[in-house]
Amino acid sequence: MAIVKMKKFHLLVLDSNREKLLRELQLFRNVQFDDVRSIENFEDESMARFKRPDIDDKVAEIEDKISQCSSIIDLVSKYTPTVSTFRGLIDGLPNYTFEQMEEEVGKFDFEKEYNDIKALGDELSKIESSISKKRSLMDELKPISQLDVSFDEMSNLSRFVSFVGTIPNKVYSKFSEDISKVEGVYLERLGIFKDDIYVFMIYDKRVEQDLNEVLRDSNLNKIKLEGDLLPKDKIELLKEEIGTLDSRKREIINVLSEKNESLDYFKLKYEYLGNLRVRELAKKEFMVTSSVCVISGYCPDFDVDRLEKTVSNISGSEFVMEFEDVDKDSEDVPIMLKNNKLVKAFENVTSTYALPKYNEIDPTPLYAPIYALFFGMMSADFGYGVILLLVTTLGLRICNFTPSMRQNVKFFQLIGVSTMLWGFLYGSYFGKSIPGVWQLFDMSTQFMNILIMSIAMGGIHLFYGLGIKAYMLARDGRYADMFFDVIAWYISLISIISLLLSLANVLPSSFKAVSTYGMYAGLLLLLIGGGRGSEGGIFKKFAAGMYNIYGISGYVGDFVSYSRLMALGMAGGYISFSVNMIAGMLWGSGIIGIIGAIIVLVIFHLFNLFLSCLGAYVHSLRLIYVEFFGKFYEGGGKGFKVFRNKAKFINLDREFED
């Protein structure tokens, strides 16, 4: 249960075996390539024959096909029947091994399938565009549907000018009044659409100059249409054309809705091409000549023999491979975590914050039981824990989750056990205590005891974090740092706590003198330790030491932070109690009251379960990330990237990932 030890490998193989080798390494999976120039100066004149493989055209071709797959998937997914959410959870994504994926994609003619479906999609787009344009034209024609002259007839007049236009409603009255003052002009109001009034106008060309002055101030917008049909006849024709297009549209959609098999194929092809792309991009790290290929990268120590065997199966004896230990302080070493099934469920908590550096330790097994403990203490209801445990266990049994989703469900399964445990200790069963059943604390009367326990658990948690820091410093031979940065804090904090407890008569008064001397000694050590690494004169060292002592205020805040363990647990308990009280008031109101009480109990207890889990999840993270990690953990490691594309539509080699 730790950070997996890595090996750096250097490989020289025949370039003719490169493609076969890369395919086998994708099956192998546990390899991450590194720039081969990190081991050799290829700028040297003697290495001039070596160059980067030319991959641009191949990558562009693959990405083009990926784009084609995406467009088909998006198109067909709109019209294929969707399964219910529950059914989708149970069925999940289809499971394939890498070999099965390769075999299935070879059974279809990609170009034919793509061209056939694309043609349907293009036709559908044209139909929808045409329908949209025809509907827009209908909207323009409806306000002038009573017009008894066609647009062609209007344009063929010799002595007169006629047109249809729109006038903003707010200026129509003034426009009509101004037009009435010009002789030889006929204006007819046809209809209104939105904020515009449609008008028909005809006038003698001889008055055009006088009329233009009126038109300039009117915001008149002439409608430019043509055709020998009357507007009402044109509308009927457009309706018929739209009906014909709608009929063809439904036919195409029906065809697309039956393309389930093609949809599955393009999803599989998408995944296959994604892995081909990863394979091609990996070549950017290689150097090649016409005959040989030089490769470098990382491999987990436990898989070294399997990697060498994989290369041997392709290249026979015609390869040279070397392994070397990596620099433990290098920030380039990729990080892989390896934990048992129980601890692995908490790895997402670590990666959300930051993966450890290679010279750190994996904090996951160190905080996993504490996180579960804190979460359970803040959600703290036996009934809620039972629901979490049953739902997650059932989900793991019947649902085909993705590996990441499966890990998250296992996380909440373990959290459910902790919630049950604390619910039992608090005697809370859906917010109600059961007479005669043992309980350690009564939240309604012993909240001070729970608060003291929370602060005490916080102190243990903080000291635990400091202890881990001491181990890491001792491991690296930094004994002086361990003394001043950990032991000095132990002495100071324990002495201050003992002094406060003795002053409060919790500890015997004999502890007072010892605690006082211990506190002074601890503060002196903090003063010396804080200034030991500072550059400059005595004043700067003293200031740095005083700032180090000021860090005690941070520990005070840390201790207070753990009061949330009590506060959130009690908040959820009181909400549950209130829900039960409301339901109890309804219960005595006949059959309707009983039904109402059941509805209140189910809905609001589920809602409280959600709120309790959300609050416990976030605040447990806070206690781990800030109070715990802040004592010893820096993080910043780069995750190991397996030689695969991240699957989107399938579970690829799920048995390997699980």
Non-local CB neighbours of 636 within 8 Å, separated by 6+ positions:
331, 354, 355, 357
Q: What is the mean pLDDT of residues 177-195?
A: 83
Residue 382 clears pLDDT 60, i.e. is over it: yes
> What's the pLDDT band for 149 if we cut at 50, 70, 90?
confident
In whole angstroms, what is the distance from residue 214 CA to residue 82 CA?
A: 60
- Which residue has 């005891």 as its token pair? 449
DSSP-derived secondary structure for 467-535: HHHHHHHHHTT-HHHHIIIIIHHHHHHHHHHHHHHHHTTSS-THHHHHHHHHHHHHHHHHHHHHHTT--
In whole angstroms, what is the distance from residue 488 CA to residue 486 CA?
A: 5
Q: What is the mean pLDDT of residues 433-451?
A: 88
How far, in whole angstroms, is CA 123 from its chain's centroid?
A: 36
pLDDT of residue 185: 85
Burial of 162 from C-beta contacts in 10 A (0-12 / 13-18 / 19+): middle
pLDDT of residue 119: 96
DSSP-derived secondary structure for 259-317: -HHHHHHHHHHHHHHHHHHHHHHHGGG-EE-SSEEEEEEEEEGGGHHHHHHHHHHHHTT
Whether the predicted model's global pTM rises above the 0.95 cut = no
What DSSP element (H or E) covers 33? strand 32-34
pLDDT of residue 533: 74
**Do 76 and 287 form a contact (C-beta atoms < 8 A)?**
no
> What's the pLDDT band for 45 if we cut at 50, 70, 90?
low
pLDDT of residue 1: 58
Non-local CB neighbours of 325 within 8 Å, separated by 6+ positions:
7, 8
Mean pLDDT, the chain, integer: 91
DSSP-derived secondary structure for 366-420: HHHHHHHHHHHHHH--HHHHHHHHHHHHHHHHH----HHHHHHHHHHHHHHHHHH
pLDDT of residue 656: 54
Q: What is the mean pLDDT of residues 325-353?
A: 93
DSSP-assigned beta bridge partners for residue 33: 297
Residue 34 clears pLDDT 70, i.e. is over it: yes
More confident residue, 276 or 155: 276
pLDDT of residue 16: 94
> What's the pLDDT band for 531 if we cut at 50, 70, 90?
confident
Selection from 652, 646, 25 nearest residue 274 by Cα:
646
**Do 10 and 321 form a contact (C-beta atoms < 8 A)?**
yes
Non-local CB neighbours of 260 within 8 Å, separated by 6+ positions:
80
pLDDT of residue 46: 63
pLDDT-above-70 percentage for the chain: 99
DSSP-derived secondary structure for 149-206: S-HHHHHT-SSEEEEEEEEEHHHHHHHHHHHHTSTTEEEEEEEEETTEEEEEEEEEGG
DSSP-assigned beta bridge partners for residue 652: 96
Q: What is the mean pLDDT of residues 428-442?
A: 90
Dihedral of the alpha carbons of 379, 384, 386, 392, in degrees to the nearest 10 = -80
In whole angstroms, what is the distance from residue 338 CA to residue 365 CA?
A: 10
Give 66-122 pLDDT, tens digit per residue: 999 999 999 999 998 887 788 888 888 999 999 999 999 988 899 999 999 999 999
Residue 380 clears pLDDT 90, i.e. is over it: yes
In whole angstroms, what is the distance from residue 547 CA to residue 524 CA?
A: 13
**Do 411 and 348 form a contact (C-beta atoms < 8 A)?**
yes
Q: What is the mean pLDDT of residues 284-313?
A: 95
Give 496-508 pLDDT, tens digit per residue: 999 999 988 888 8
Ranges 18-22, 34-38, 211-215, most confident:
18-22
557-585: string of b/e by CB count within 10 Å (b at 16+)?
ebbebbebbbbbbbbbbebbbebbeebee
Dihedral of the alpha carbons of 122, 125, 129, 132, in degrees to the nearest 10 = 160
> What's the pLDDT band for 176 if we cut at 50, 70, 90?
confident
Q: Is 103 helix (H, G, I), strand (E, B) or coil?
A: helix
Dihedral of the alpha carbons of 127, 131, 133, 137, in degrees to the nearest 10 = 150
**Helical packing angle, 552-561 and 447-475, nearest 10°:** 130
HEC-encoded secondary structure of 258-271: CCHHHHHHHHHHHH
Residue 535 clears pLDDT 80, i.e. is over it: no
Contacts 24+ apart (CB under 8 A), 453-459: 453/566, 454/377, 454/562, 454/563, 454/564, 454/565, 454/566, 455/559, 455/560, 455/562, 455/563, 457/373, 457/562, 457/565, 458/558, 458/559, 458/561, 458/562, 458/565, 458/623, 458/627, 459/497, 459/559
What would the two tokens of residue 456 be? 């005490």
What would the two tokens of residue 530 be? 């804080």
Residue 534 clears pLDDT 80, i.e. is over it: no
More confident residue, 534 or 411: 411
How far, in whole angstroms, is CA 385 from its chain's centroid?
A: 26
In whole angstroms, what is the distance from residue 359 CA to residue 561 CA?
A: 30
pLDDT of residue 192: 84
**Ranges 198-202, 323-327, 341-345, 558-562: which has the least confidence:** 198-202
Residue 655 clears pLDDT 80, i.e. is over it: no
How far, in whole angstroms, is CA 183 from its chain's centroid?
A: 72
How far, in whole angstroms, is CA 526 from its chain's centroid?
A: 43
Give 539-560 pLDDT, tens digit per residue: 888 888 898 899 999 999 999 9
pLDDT of residue 658: 52
Give 212-245 pLDDT, tens digit per residue: 777 777 778 887 777 778 888 888 999 999 999 9
What would the two tokens of residue 3 be? 């950070």
Q: Phi then psi for 96, rounded to 5 degrees? A: -140, 145
Q: Is 636 helix (H, G, I), strand (E, B) or coil?
A: coil
pLDDT of residue 391: 96
Q: Is 96 helix (H, G, I), strand (E, B) or coil?
A: strand
pLDDT of residue 580: 93
- Give the pairing of strands 6-14 and 287-288: unpaired
Q: What is the mean pLDDT of residues 291-303?
A: 95
